[in-house]
Structure 1
Amino acid sequence: MFGRKAAEKLDNTAAALHKVGGKAGEAVANAVIAPVRRQIDTDCTRCANGKCKKH
């Protein structure tokens, strides 16, 4: 249903929320973005670009 570009946008949005909002931003990302992101069969796009600090 969603592709790599959608995964990249979701990953970047989640990272931005975490950076700006800290724990509150991460809670929002987990509640709103994570369910959609789980439907995409693609690994973390930020890891592939060397930008991920979580994995």
Structure 2
Amino acid sequence: MFGRKAAETLDNAAAALHKAGGKAGDAVANTVLAPVRRQIDTSCTRCAKGKCKQH
């Protein structure tokens, strides 16, 4: 359904929300972005680039 670019965009958006809003940003990302992200069979693209601080 969604590809790698969509996964990367969602991962970057979640990271930006986390950086800007901390726990509140995480809550928004989990509520809004997580359902769409779960439909993508690609692992965290930020982990692959060494930029992920959450995993």
User: Does TM, normalized by the shorter one, top 0.5?
Assistant: yes
Task: State the match for 1:36 in structure 2.
Answer: 36
**Cα offset for 1:43?**
0.3
Per-residue CA distance 1:1-55 (angstroms, 9 max, x = gap): 1000000000000000000011100000000000000000000000000000111
Normalising by structure 2, we get a TM-score of: 0.98
Aligned-residue identity in percent: 84
5+ residue gaps in structure 2?
none
Deviation >6 Å, runs of 4+: none
Normalising by structure 1, we get a TM-score of: 0.98
